[in-house]
């Protein structure tokens, strides 16, 4: 994916919802994508739409629903939304879309590495050589 002044436009995939289509237009209006990246972008857009559907289900039913024995349980859409957010993060990380400052979304591996480095080097104050 490269930033360009005149990116090559591609028609948005059929069946995208409002948020997915908006994200597609935003990305294809700002960047050029390889064929593989177009597929990742499409899946990211569909994931955004899926998250909207899951949020609508929770809004309609509430965060708690009745379980099989009549007990209150967390709405299954909330659990699924958590999984979809992880998928979205991975897709966006793979696309390496920059933000306004040019930074990209870190991958889970780089986030774990940063956390490990902070734990290793940041937890103990540096001692002066004796």
**Which band of pLDDT confidence, cut at 50, 70 and 90, is reported for residue 3?**
low
Give the global pTM. 0.76
30 inside domain: yes
35 inside domain: yes
Tens digit of each residue's pLDDT (9 = 90 or more) over 54-86: 999 999 999 999 999 999 999 999 999 999 999
Tens digit of each residue's pLDDT (9 = 90 or more) over 10-53: 899 999 999 999 999 999 999 999 999 999 999 999 999 999 99
| Domain assignment of residue 29, given as a range | 2-122
Count the domains in the chain: 1
Q: Which residues pair with 66 in a beta bridge?
A: 72
Instruction: Please compute, for residue 47, the number of CA atoms within 13 A of its CA located in the half-sphere on the CB side.
Output: 19
117 inside domain: yes
42 inside domain: yes
Please, what's the largest Cα pairwise distance for the chain? 68
Identify the pLDDT of residue 126. Answer: 56
The DSSP annotation for 74-102 comes to E-HHHHHHHHHHHHHHHHHHHHT-B-TTS
130 inside domain: no
């Amino acid at each position: 994916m490269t930033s360009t002044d005149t990116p090559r436009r591609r028609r948005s995939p059929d069946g995208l919802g409002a948020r997915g289509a908006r994200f597609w237009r935003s990305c294809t209006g700002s960047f050029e994508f390889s064929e593989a990246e177009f597929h990742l972008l499409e899946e990211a857009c569909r994931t955004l739409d899926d998250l909207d559907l899951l949020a609508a289900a929770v809004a309609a039913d509430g965060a708690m629903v009745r379980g099989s024995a009549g007990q209150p349980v967390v709405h299954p859409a909330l659990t699924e939304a958590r999984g979809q957010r992880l998928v979205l993060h991975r897709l966006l990380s793979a696309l390496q879309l920059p933000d306004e400052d040019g930074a990209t979304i870190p991958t889970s591996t780089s986030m774990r590495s940063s956390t490990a480095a902070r734990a290793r080097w940041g937890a103990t104050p540096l001692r002066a050589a004796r």
